[in-house]
Structure 1
Amino acid sequence: MKGISKRLKKKTFLIIATFLLILTTIPDLVKVFAPVVDTQDTSWAWLLGYAFLNNLQWGKEIIFTFGPLGFLENTYFYSNHLLWFITAIANIFVRLVFYAFFIYFVYLCVFKEKDSSNSQSSITFYFFYVLISAISIIVSSSIPISMLLCLMATLIIVDTFNCDFIKNNKIILIRYVLSGALFAFSSLIKFNVIPFAILFLLVYPFLMVYSFRDKKIFFQGFVGLISFILVFLLIYLIIGQNLSNLPALLMGIYEIIKGYTPAMFLNGKILQTLVAVITLLYFVYLILISYKKKKKILFSQLFLLFLLLFFVFKEGFVRQDNIITGGHTLSFFTVCLILLAFIIFLYSRMKLSNSFINFVFLIIFFFNVIGGIIYINGARNIVCLSNLSFSKHKRIELQQSINSAIRNQFKVDPSILQSIGDQPVTIIPWDLMMSQGYNFKFIPQVVPQAYSAYTPYLDEQNAKQILSDVALQKIIYTFEDIDNRYPLFSEPYTFMTILSCYRTEIAGNKYSLLTRKKSCHDLNLTSISSIETGLNQWIDLPSNADFMDIYINPTLISHIIDILYKPFSQIYISFKLSNNQIVGPYRFIPGVSKDHLFVKYFIRNQRDLNDLMSKDAYNLLKIKSFTITTKGINLDYDKSYNVIFYNSSFS
């Protein structure tokens, strides 16, 4: 009877697992670019496909958070239908492999126990683990494939601590190579995986020595890192990237990652933050307990899993949306659920679980559902995929519908379209996907969306492109920005270059067309005065000041805060105008505040921008003074800062 019962459990588990596998490996396979509410995110997603199809060189022609395989992250219906089909199949394949891997691991942990007399073989225990597995797999259907690849690589490495390094040496080496390859694929989809992957694969060999005291194991442990580097470079070359651009690529990645937290952070719901902190602290508690009890293998496994959890914590909570479910924090909570389930299985395998451990895990596990999402798509996605894959007519029909929706979304003035014709054009700050609807000869900025040029290096790359690319005759410009920023201060050096090289040709209400002058006019900036001042003080501008540089230095502790979390305070700028009106506060980005901020006039809207670019200053208001303030606990910036004012030949 006991043998029959055990076989029945296995069959039941496999039936449930297979059902979940079929049910949840069906992502949204056909996303459309329009109509949409948010053109900002869909535009950068569109750009990733455009960049791949046009073989743009990362680091030289484009610098972004996502890499050359970034188009795989979303299943948008690209105008190149083969590219869309690849994204759909890649999403199905990666998810299927992840679910199969996760189910197999659960099977090993729960149903391969040699000690059948263990109380954990009870039916209650069985259904507890099946329930945990089911929720984990369902929730993971909302995780992007870059994170799934990263997650698989992490779990494969963590599980090597449970292997016999003598009997299974070849298998372990295969695991190292596979893990490094998965990290490489993930990194080429999203670049911020790179520092985590390198740190993880560097720490692993030292934890192996700590756990097993074997030098041979230590040196073998670096195979994963070597695999990561080689596979990364191999794929990089296969997809048409040039190795000579690698230094520029690495520099661009460094600048994007370095500047992201202070420039892009947002604060959201405190409940989400508390749950996340409780979860992190509980992981730390488990690590300390395992170290105290000299459970070296468990300590090493928990430490590596904590690295991943901290990585997704930063990923989710730096730019925290002010909503209860979904948003950027979804990444943390969904991955957290998977890791918690994995740890429960580790405890089960090592026979270290007890009622207290399971109870606390269970509470945190389900508490994390607050920030997660149960996301199941039915068979309609497979039907839709099949219909589009085998019917050229349906693909063309959908493509025409999307292009029409894009045109209806943006409604660019016909006179602008006529003027552009077949000339190269760029779009600032972010509505890039209009290029598809109007079939523009599109040249993206090096940093494609203006708000992402948040360091001097990134701002400079866009400015250099404006100066050097004389073929770039037209710019479609919109006066808008994210996070209540003042638009002219997002990429100030670039805007100064636009002032020098372009003029208004067609003044629109939302979209204006700027045309390149015959030659760029040197603005000849001349320093006229400087001042040292402090936060919360009003500073009068010299009457002939056209530009200014503001040097706000971060504190020493701010660097630690940025690594561990995000700044505690946001910094703002307000202006007093020539009519004595006070405007602001606007979110201020100190990273680019020394890139020559234009302060001759205050630009209120698109009409003011058109007048400025036409050199018609009659209706423009001058800036008389400004003040820098902070909101929150200011541990991030020095209380004093320096300002340099410049005069120029701009009139």
Structure 2
Amino acid sequence: MVATRAGRVKAWCSTAGWGLARWQRCLAALLTAVLFWPQSSVDADIGVDPSWEAAVALARIHHLAWGPEIVFTYGPLAFLQNTGYYSTQQAVLATFYQVGVIAALFLGVAAALRRRYPATTSLVGAFVTTGTTAILLGPMYPEVVVLAAFAWASLLLLQNDLKRSTAFITSVALAAVGGFELLVKFNTGPVIAFIALAASILRDWRAVGRHCATVTAFGASIPIWWLLAGQRLGNLPVWLRYSGQIVSGYIHAQAVPIPLDAAGAALLTVAWLVVVCAMLVRGGRVIPRNYAMLVAVTSVLIAKSAFGRYDTNHFSALLGLMVIAVAITPLYGILRPRFEIAVVVILVVFLIGTLVIEQRPLAVLQAPVRSVDRLATVAFPGRAAAHIRQSKARQRGHYGIPERFVKTIGSAAVHVDPDETSVVWAYDFAWRPAPVFQTYSAYTPTLDKLNSETLAAGPQFVLSRQSPTSPAVGINGRLGVQENPLYSRTLLCDFTVDGVENHWELLARSQPHCGPLALLSEVVVREGNPVAVPAPSGPHTAVLVGIDLDRTIVDRLFMGSLVPLTTYTVALDGVSYRLTAGNAAEPFLVNTPDSVTATNLEIHSHTIGVGRSRSLGQHNPTARLRFYEMRISR
């Protein structure tokens, strides 16, 4: 009976005309978006990621200039990917963007499937593929746009009879989307533009006009969307330069050594590359080799990000690409049956594992209800305002900033350190941040200097969330005072502690009260052996150290450039911390005076050494340590 019903369904899908009309496809796309709309609660949350989401929304609310006043790996349109409500306008615009992203993925997959299947069957396949991908990636909308771009670009290579005008419009449109997405999430824009250009070249390398138009569309769309986002055109080069610094620094500073439990992911990736190679070698007329090249290029681009900072979220983007490619590619017969079965089994296991680990099934059940609530905000904006009021009250109850601090700050400009930017939104503070507002992202000397100089001439107060450990430790076990050496010195030298209460510190601007750095000594450390930190000469002095690393070729390749397998560490009194290598040469605090006791600046080290988190067969690193002393006036 089951077989009979399945046969009837199959026959209906093959003969039904649903999906031939454009309005039918658009309606199906909208329904798919509503059913599988990946989103967390519309009530703004707290934590590291929700705080930067709050920051990109606050940048629009406070009319900050991207580049000079705020810098991140996202841009002035980043608020569109927020699922939480931070303002009524943001909630409405984000609703249109997010529905559009899922619908675009559905339509791209449906168009690719329509090449081989009847209209209704292609819509069913697109429904399943889009739903699986949306559930996998969750609210990672920029990455979903990359996958949608791949689906649309594949049409240029899977259809030999495609009109030249259609190929031209598709390439140019995808490149323009890349320019838009650059202002949402910096690193996804170039990837989309590269996919568009690669598809154009692979279709016909002699179509130079189309290639040039693709590149021009990408370049032209960036300033257009920049101006539409309310930004000054003159700030665009500044933002591009500083955001490029964050992305380049991210490769080394944020890359997490691939853990042992990533062996399965690596196995699946290798198996997928074998499948792609089989497409190239055995695909022939069934699978065009230029399409197989596009799959290979896209796989490499996404795999680099997936393993650069490995976790299930980052790897899910590569899984999503596999799902889409398998759906739109006629793979049967190009591999041996046993290998095909093995690849499918491994892929299914990872899909299920990712869904379980990230608790995505619960999100699937909640998606339709949340989608209706989101869509209701378009018709009734007051609903968003009510959510915002409730979220702010809930966050204030959680943060519990002392009332004295709130009154002291008043309407004065404040910067929040190191990353709890949500408090600005919850308490309606006047926000004037250090440009790299989540200070752990100031990976390079240029960014550290930018934050330091802005802070020196910027806000009246710095509100800091007290670290539960001393010395303060940031994300990935990084030493707080080391990841931003100049910024930390500015906090010490241009601010005084106004109070420490209920896990919060309030620093108030004062006259600069630090002298110049005076060199104490230099010493070379080898084989991981620690050396003594010079004692301060008086109660009102700080001791600092700069580390000149002797980097080997293995270090350069396997600390993020090629594959992240290890990282530098700095050991203080026998406790290891991750070393932000890009800022290691700038002297950082290792001994501070009593004036910053019980704050995130407090540190009292007696020994220091340099090592690696994991040995790759080489000796412990060699480094030259430069110790300095800095006098601090009372």
What TM-score, normalized by structure 1, do the two folds share?
0.83
Residue 59 (structure 1) aligns with = 67
**8 Å contact kept, 1:149–1:183:** no
- Secondary structure at the aligned position of 1:96 is classed as helix
- Secondary structure at the aligned position of 1:641 is classed as strand
Q: Which runs of 5+ in 2 are unaligned?
A: 1-6, 468-473, 537-541
Residue 495 (structure 2) aligns with = 502
> CA 1:250–1:379 in 2, change beyond 3 Å: closer, same or farther?
closer
Greater alpha carbon shift after TM alignment, 190-199 vs 592-601: 190-199
Amino acid at match of 1:101: G
Residue 579 (structure 1) aligns with = none
Residue 320 (structure 1) aligns with = 310
Q: Is residue 31 from structure 1 mapped to residue 4 from structure 2 by the alignment?
A: no
- Secondary structure at the aligned position of 1:237 is classed as helix
> CA 1:602–1:154 in 2, change beyond 3 Å: closer, same or farther?
farther
How big is each residue's C-alpha offset from its partner over 1:88-131, in whole Å with a ceiling of 9 and x where there is no partner?
A: 1221122123212312321322238xxxxxxxxxxxxx99x998
Question: In structure 1, which of residues 559, 564, 569 is the aligned counterpart of residue 566 of structure 2?
Answer: 569
**8 Å contact kept, 2:172–2:196:** no
For 2:251 and 2:38, locate their aligned partners in 1 and report how far apart those are by CA, in whole Å. Answer: 30
For 2:596 and 2:492, locate their aligned partners in 1 and report how far apart those are by CA, in whole Å. Answer: 15
Question: In structure 2, which of residues 502, 512, 528 is the aligned counterpart of residue 536 of structure 1?
Answer: 528
Question: In structure 2, which of residues 399, 421, 438 is the aligned counterpart of residue 449 of structure 1?
Answer: 438
**8 Å contact kept, 1:32–1:402:** no
> CA 1:65–1:327 in 2, change beyond 3 Å: closer, same or farther?
same
Question: In structure 1, which of residues 294, 299, 308 is the aligned counterpart of residue 289 of structure 2?
Answer: 299
Residue 642 (structure 1) aligns with = 624
Q: Is residue 593 from structure 1 mapped to residue 584 from structure 2 by the alignment?
A: yes
Residue 405 (structure 1) aligns with = 394
For 1:606 and 1:110, locate their aligned partners in 2 and report how far apart those are by CA, in whole Å. Answer: 69
Greater alpha carbon shift after TM alignment, 455-464 vs 18-27: 18-27
Question: In structure 2, which of residues 144, 148, 160 is the aligned counterpart of residue 148 of structure 1?
Answer: 144
> CA 1:201–1:526 in 2, change beyond 3 Å: closer, same or farther?
farther
- Secondary structure at the aligned position of 2:107 is classed as helix
Matches within 5 A, 1:516-527: 516-517=509-510, 519-527=511-519
**8 Å contact kept, 2:526–2:623:** yes
- Secondary structure at the aligned position of 2:501 is classed as coil
How big is each residue's C-alpha offset from its partner over 1:502-530, in whole Å with a ceiling of 9 and x where there is no partner?
A: 0011222411110000x223430122221
Residue 261 (structure 1) aligns with = 251
Q: Offset at 1:231?
A: 1.3
> CA 1:409–1:9 in 2, change beyond 3 Å: closer, same or farther?
same
Matches within 5 A, 1:412-561: 412-469=401-458, 472-480=459-467, 481-517=474-510, 519-544=511-536, 546-561=543-558
How big is each residue's C-alpha offset from its partner over 1:217-264, in whole Å with a ceiling of 9 and x where there is no partner?
A: 244233222211111221112212223223322221221111113211
- Secondary structure at the aligned position of 1:642 is classed as strand
**8 Å contact kept, 1:283–1:302:** no
> CA 1:457–1:177 in 2, change beyond 3 Å: closer, same or farther?
same
- Secondary structure at the aligned position of 1:632 is classed as coil
Alignment size in residue pairs: 600
For 1:152 and 1:393, locate their aligned partners in 2 and report how far apart those are by CA, in whole Å. Answer: 33
Q: Offset at 1:432?
A: 0.8
How big is each residue's C-alpha offset from its partner over 1:356-401, in whole Å with a ceiling of 9 and x where there is no partner?
A: 6754553344233133555524532243235544446544432321
For 1:585 and 1:250, locate their aligned partners in 2 and report how far apart those are by CA, in whole Å. Answer: 35
Residue 158 (structure 1) aligns with = 154
For 1:74 and 1:86, locate their aligned partners in 2 and report how far apart those are by CA, in whole Å. Answer: 10
Amino acid at match of 1:89: F
Q: Offset at 1:23?
A: 4.8
- Secondary structure at the aligned position of 1:60 is classed as coil
Residue 354 (structure 2) aligns with = 371
Amino acid at match of 1:493: L
Q: Is residue 101 from structure 1 mapped to residue 108 from structure 2 by the alignment?
A: yes
Matches within 5 A, 1:60-459: 60-78=68-86, 80-111=87-118, 133-142=126-135, 143=137, 144-164=140-160, 168-197=163-192, 199-201=194-196, 203-204=198-199, 206-209=201-204, 215=206, 217-267=207-257, 270-271=260-261, 273-292=262-281, 295=284, 298-321=288-311, 326-344=312-330, 347=331, 359=341, 362-369=344-351, 370-372=353-355, 373=360, 375-376=363-364, 377-391=366-380, 394-459=383-448
Q: Offset at 1:607?
A: 4.9
What TM-score, normalized by structure 2, do the two folds share?
0.85
For 2:456 and 2:60, locate their aligned partners in 1 and report how far apart those are by CA, in whole Å. Answer: 25
How big is each residue's C-alpha offset from its partner over 1:458-504, in whole Å with a ceiling of 9 and x where there is no partner?
A: 111100101232xx111102243222222222211101011110001
Q: Which runs of 5+ in 1 are unaligned?
A: 113-125, 577-581, 613-619
Amino acid at match of 1:524: P
- Secondary structure at the aligned position of 2:329 is classed as helix
For 1:19 and 1:248, locate their aligned partners in 2 and report how far apart those are by CA, in whole Å. Answer: 42
Amino acid at match of 2:31: I
How big is each residue's C-alpha offset from its partner over 1:406-431, in whole Å with a ceiling of 9 and x where there is no partner?
A: 11010000110111111111100011
> CA 1:622–1:366 in 2, change beyond 3 Å: closer, same or farther?
closer
For 2:603 and 2:482, locate their aligned partners in 1 and report how far apart those are by CA, in whole Å. Answer: 17
For 2:402 and 2:424, locate their aligned partners in 1 and report how far apart those are by CA, in whole Å. Answer: 14
For 1:260 and 1:278, locate their aligned partners in 2 and report how far apart those are by CA, in whole Å. Answer: 25
**8 Å contact kept, 2:442–2:484:** yes
